[in-house]
């Protein structure tokens, strides 16, 4: 039997990208979910693949999004929590603020999808011991906010240099995409002392370079064969190091600047959407050849089962 792996998608909407970037107009909560969600579901159906969608709570309160969010749930995909306001500085929140932010998203998402969220990922991989304690207090099974890569701070610097943020806003975002020390974190899932399972976003073993599909789109915009070679190298290293991948997707992996001109600043948006979806399908099918990819909760459950019979699942201080 193939080992368990997982695929997830952070359903970040147009307004959340504009907000993080400091661009005007996000306050009206513009979106593209009605355009991108059918594309995503079509690719997943062709691959016969169920994944986890991390949904932003605010989007679930917007009437025009209700239908597409319900389609995600009806298609059998897992629904998880990506915060309410998508602010990548949750590490600055106090306990009451975190309960309000996470709990508000829970209520909004459940009201539309009928699903109770038991998984969480912080926007921009924002996390802290307090965030994880609040998740444990609220009965969450797993967190997926660790991004063990050395390029996170480089990406943050690029982002800040190209943003229109004030000095105060840049200070808020100084934890965006993690720290250099995160590159030395665990690649394999583990359990925190408070019982919360952590499923890190997989990066390339040994080199700790990003392998999420948004990075592949950035490479493919330069040379598509390079992106495929890069991905195949990552798969080879994961197999050699016995790392079962947790692959991360984003809506921008299915969109181009013709679809959303406002996103022209984002890496990889010059690559045509058709080429992007073909590359996503390639990554999913290559995972399926070597692992049994499923939802994040299925991946976490497989690890819980392993922990009951083996000591290989490490425990980390909370």
What is the CATH architecture of 7-201+248-256+293-307? Answer: Alpha-Beta Barrel (3.20)
Two tokens, residue 279: 């590359």
pLDDT per residue over 161-209, tens digit each?
Answer: 555 656 665 565 555 555 666 667 889 999 999 999 999 999 999 999 9
pLDDT of residue 23: 84
pLDDT of residue 174: 57
**Alpha-carbon span 103 to 138, nearest angstrom:** 8
Run of H or E including 4: strand 4-10
pLDDT per residue over 124-162, tens digit each?
Answer: 899 999 999 999 999 999 999 999 986 656 555 555 555
pLDDT of residue 149: 83
pLDDT of residue 4: 96
Run of H or E including 249: strand 246-249
Q: Residue 88 — very low, low, confident or very high, per pLDDT cuts 50/70/90?
A: confident
pLDDT of residue 312: 43
Average pLDDT over residues 88-112: 96
Least confident residue range of 40-49, 86-95, 307-316: 307-316
Name 119's bridge partners. Answer: 142
CA-based nearest residue to 11, from 73, 49, 55: 55
Mean pLDDT score of the chain, rounded to an integer? 90
pLDDT per residue over 26-75, tens digit each?
Answer: 999 999 999 999 999 999 999 999 999 999 999 999 999 999 999 999 99
**Alpha-carbon span 79 to 303, nearest angstrom:** 19
Q: At residue 313, does pLDDT exceed 60?
A: no
Q: Which are the contacts of 97, defined by CB distance < 8 A and separation ≥ 6?
A: none
Q: Is the pTM of this model over 0.85?
A: yes
pLDDT per residue over 266-301, tens digit each?
Answer: 989 999 999 999 999 999 999 999 999 999 999 999
Let me know the angle formed at the C-alpha of 53 by 49 and 57, rounded to the nearest 5 degrees. 165
Run of H or E including 220: helix 213-222
Q: At residue 93, does pLDDT exceed 60?
A: yes
DSSP three-state, residue 242: coil
**Alpha-carbon span 187 to 11, nearest angstrom:** 23
CA-based nearest residue to 282, from 243, 196, 224: 224
């Amino acid at each position: 039997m193939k080992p368990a792996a997982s695929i997830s998608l952070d359903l970040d909407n147009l307004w959340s990208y504009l907000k993080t970037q400091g661009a005007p107009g996000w306050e009206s909560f513009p979106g593209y979910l009605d355009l991108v969600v059918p594309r995503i579901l079509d690719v997943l159906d062709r691959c016969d693949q169920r994944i986890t969608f991390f949904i932003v709570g605010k989007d679930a309160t917007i009437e025009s999004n209700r239908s597409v969010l319900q389609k995600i749930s009806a298609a059998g995909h897992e629904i998880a929590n990506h915060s309410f306001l998508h602010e990548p500085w949750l590490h600055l929140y106090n306990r009451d603020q975190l309960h309000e932010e996470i709990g508000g998203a829970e209520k909004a998402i459940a009201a539309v999808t009928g699903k109770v969220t038991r998984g969480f990922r912080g926007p921009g991989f924002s996390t802290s011991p307090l965030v994880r304690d609040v998740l444990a207090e609220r009965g969450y099974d797993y967190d997926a906010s660790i991004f063990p890569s050395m390029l996170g701070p480089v990406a943050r610097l690029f982002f800040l240099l190209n943003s229109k943020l004030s000095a105060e806003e840049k200070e808020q975002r100084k934890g965006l995409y993690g720290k250099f020390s995160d590159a030395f974190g665990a690649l394999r899932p583990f359990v925190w002392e408070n019982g919360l399972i952590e499923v890190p976003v997989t990066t390339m073993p040994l080199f700790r370079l990003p392998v999420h599909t948004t990075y592949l789109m950035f490479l493919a915009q330069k040379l598509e064969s390079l992106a495929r070679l890069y991905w195949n190298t990552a798969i080879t290293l994961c197999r050699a190091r016995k790392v079962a991948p947790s692959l991360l997707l984003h809506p921008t992996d299915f969109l181009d600047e013709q679809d959303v001109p406002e996103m022209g600043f984002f890496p990889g948006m010059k690559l045509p959407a058709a080429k992007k979806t073909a590359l996503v399908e390639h990554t999913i099918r290559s995972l399926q050849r070597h692992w049994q990819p499923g939802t994040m909760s299925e991946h976490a459950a497989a690890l819980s089962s392993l922990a009951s019979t083996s000591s290989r699942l490490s425990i980390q201080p909370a």
